[in-house]
Structure formats: structure tokens, C-alpha cells
A and B are shown apart, each in its own frame.
Chain A
């Protein structure tokens, strides 16, 4: 969580030094962007039209971005290995066969919209929407964000040129890295909102200790 927030803030700071995105191999202030983020830049060489240069935070942001990435990747690695060894993914995250249907997903959304209280099974395990979201984050978005990030390293690309070539070039990799980070942020926002709605401290206790303090248990 801490490293994700560190990656997010420093990532934003790095984008501010060139808030223009391109597609393909190359792109710079002299070429047409795919899109621009309408903010001033921290570099006066970027034609933003605001006539204002933001404070430059790139140096420490880059240092911290890469260090936090290491923390996230290493803890992520331990988590995935542990999850596979203990069959956590198979038992707790893979939706049971009966629920692998659109109807099951819709049903959960309906309950959310009605703000129906979770049933007994849900307060101790994850429903099909949660399972799908968590599996996508762990096995799709995180691998993609790591891949697109690595593809931005000229040294890594020299060893593994396919890493960037498969993405359609360096600037495409940068643009994809930006969007995938956006999806991860969206997940985080929804995830935290749901935790707050479900009762923040009770859920956080459950996450850390694995115990759920229900009324039944207390009485």
C-alpha cells in the first residue's frame, strides 16, 4: 500500500515533466501527441500553453519510483508464491464453477446497489465480483504494469528487445504504463470505498488477522 502510493505520487510527478503522450517508438515536443494532459509542465521546453513552469520534482521522484517498484515487486513475488503454495488463489479467489456466469456477476451488483447486507458466506469469503476483480489485479494488471514499466528501461530493452517491441515501441509502452496505472488506481478507489462502506476497522482487522468479528461470534 505504501509503495503503491509512493509509485503513484512519484509517477504523477514524472508525468508532469512531460504531460504529453504518444504512440509508436518516438515522440517529443516537436511531434504531434496522441493526447495531452491539460496541466503546466515542470520543464519549460514543453509547450503547454500555460506560460507557467511547475517546480521540478523529477530527481527524487525517479529514485523513489524505482525503489518502491522493487518493494512492490518483491513483496508481490512472495505473495504470489505463498498464494500458490497454500492454494489461496484456487480456494479463495477462483470463482466456484457454478458462479462463472454473467448472471452471477449481475446478481452481486444488484445486491450492492440495493445495499443488501452481505450474507453469511460473503462475510467470510469473497463473492464472484470480488474474486474476478482481485484475480485481474493480481494476474493481469500488476504483470502488465511491471512489463510496461520495464519496457521503459533502455538497458533492459537492450537485453530483452521484445519487451518493448511487442508493445509497439517505447512511447506506446509509456502510454500503456500510464493507462494501466490508471486502472490500478480505479481499483484502489473502489476497493477502499467498499471497505469504508463495509466498516473500515472491522474489515482491516479481518485482512490482517483473518478473523471476522461478527455479532454471532461476540455473543
Chain B
């Protein structure tokens, strides 16, 4: 104890107080600016919040890397999915002609869109990498319409903070914040590598979020809803992933 001078004690005390005050201010600011992820309540909350907040400040408008056509993977890897349910098989047999995308929640004009309705929106393409949380990856060309086009057409209300999206398969749903929802590379994807999107890659309709890991790009999308809070979806953790033990924000 004799080694610690009074000056040292005072400086340490001041630094500690400043640290605590800084943290308190930071958490209040983070809450105001929507920098706290919906699954921040667990033991891993502080780490997730730091990652999400840091990346949102750094990457709000940045674009995922795009690649030359020559780098498209010759062997894209179709990750396994559960066997399709009856509803999906029924649609598949009908060539997906009756597939509908319901858009509702905090929007001016809720809509139910067919695949051909979706094709009337401006169609873009991007050559981006699919990155799986397990470690593998592949590059493909994705063809579709940016989600922002559809959101603008139906008029998302300004208070909406998240877009929640659901697969036709039960318990398969995700959500993204508006930074990702309005991002020009977030596609309602209808095609892949110059053809229709194969079922194994999420056809007929997949929401691709290329700045996050593959599990955020849900296959077989049937519903999109705009909301200002994720509390009333599932267990309130933001998506099905945290309910299965995986992080909601997957930009890592």
C-alpha cells in the first residue's frame, strides 16, 4: 500500500469515475440512436452491443464487395434446408405461379405481390459472396429488385425501425434494421447466375442481405412486415436465430 502514492490513487479514482460516466452516457446515446441489438439482454449483450454499435457507425452506407464475373464460383454450395412443407410442395408443383409476398405492418398501403408483380420493379444484379457462419463461402450473381424499391412503393412509415421477414417454412424468420433494409444491395432475389433462383438456393424468393452472414438471407420469403419494435415477434429477441442461440446481428 505504501507504494501507491496519493496522486496515483486520485488519478485512478478520476479515471474510473470518468469511465463509469462515459459508459453511462454511451449507453444512453446508443439507445437513442438505435445502436443496441434486440438480443442484448443475455450474458453476451455487452459484446454484441459493442459490435453492432461499432459496425453501424462504420458501415451504415458501405457496400459489400462485388466481384468480377470470372470469380463466380463454379460450385456454389447449397446449404441444406429442412424438407419442404406441404404448402411449399403445392407451390412448387404449380410452378410458383400463386406465390405471394405479403407486405404489411407500418406501411401506407399494405400489399400482396406475386412474383410477376415483383418483376415489374427495376431489376438489378450483383456479384457478391455468400458467407456462412461455419466458415465456407461462394460467389454468385444475384438478380432481383432492391428491397428499398418495394418499401418505397408501399410507403414505409417513418417510425418503422425494423423489417421482419418470414419464410413459408415455420419458425424461419429474421429481421434487419433500416440501415440494411434500405441498403441498395439488400435484394428480393428472384434469379441466380443468369437463371431462375433454384429452390436449393432459396427460390422462388430469397431476401439477400450481403453485408451479413448467410443465415440472415432467409429462403422462401412470403411475408415482410415493417415495425418500430421487435418485442412482439417470437420471444422478442429480434429473430429466430437468437432463439436458437445465434446472434441477431450477423455482420460480425
Bound pair (A, B): yes
Using a CB–CB cutoff of 8 Å, the interface residues on chain A facing chain B are 14-15, 17-18, 20, 25-31, 43-46, 58-60, 62-64, 66-71, 152-159, 161, 164-165, 170-171, 174
In the complex, what residue of chain B is closest to A43 when comparing beta carbons? B134
Instruction: Check B212 against A155 for contact (C-beta < 8 Å).
Output: yes
Given contacts A30-B76, A58-B246, 6 further A-B contacts (CB under 8 A): A62-B133, A153-B55, A156-B251, A158-B59, A158-B211, A164-B65
B residues near A29, Cβ cutoff 8 Å: 77, 136
B252 engages A154 (CB within 8 Å):
yes
> From residue 220 to 252 of chain B, which have CB atoms closer than 8 A to chain A?
244-247, 251-252
B interface residues, Cβ below 8 angstroms from A: 42, 44, 46-48, 50-51, 55, 58-59, 62-65, 67, 71, 73, 75-77, 79-80, 129, 131-139, 210-213, 244-247, 251-252
Q: Using Cβ atoms and an 8 Å threshold, which residues of chain A touch B71?
A: 25-26
Closest A residue, CB atoms, query B214: A154
Q: Nearest B residue to A56 by beta-carbon distance?
A: B245
User: Which of A70, A71, A170 meets B137, CB within 8 Å?
Assistant: A170
* B251 partner, pick from A31, A58, A155, A164, beta carbons under 8 A: A155
Sample of 16 A–B contacts (CB below 8 Å):
A27-B136, A28-B76, A28-B77, A28-B136, A30-B77, A31-B73, A31-B75, A45-B79, A59-B247, A63-B44, A63-B247, A68-B47, A70-B47, A153-B252, A154-B64, A170-B137
Q: Are A70 and B75 also in contact (CB < 8 A) when A59-B246, A157-B65 are?
A: no
A155–B136 CB distance below 8 A: no
State which of A31, A60, A69, A174 has its C-beta within 8 Å of the C-beta of B135.
Answer: A174
Interface residues of B, dominant DSSP: loop
Interface centre among B48, B77, B210, B252 (most CB of A within 10 A): B252
State the Cβ distance, A128 to closest chain B Cβ, in Å.
Answer: 29
Contact residues in B for A155 (Cβ distance below 8 Å): 55, 58-59, 62, 211-212, 251-252
Q: Are B139 and A156 in contact (CB under 8 A)?
A: no
CB distance from A165 to the nearest CB of B (A): 8
Do the beta carbons of A70 and B51 come within 8 Å of each other? Answer: yes
Residue of A25, A152, A158 with most chain B CB atoms under a 10 A cut-off:
A158
Q: CA separation between A197 and B86, bound complex, in Å?
A: 66
Tell me which of A20, A45, A154, A170 contacts B80 (CB under 8 A): A45
A66-B67 Cα distance, complex, nearest whole Å: 28
Residues of B within 8 A of A31 (CB): 73, 75
Q: Are A66 and B65 in contact (CB under 8 A)?
A: no
Whether A59 contacts B245 by the Cβ 8 Å rule is yes
A26 touches B138 (CB 8 A): yes
Complex: A20 Cα to B135 Cα, angstroms? 9
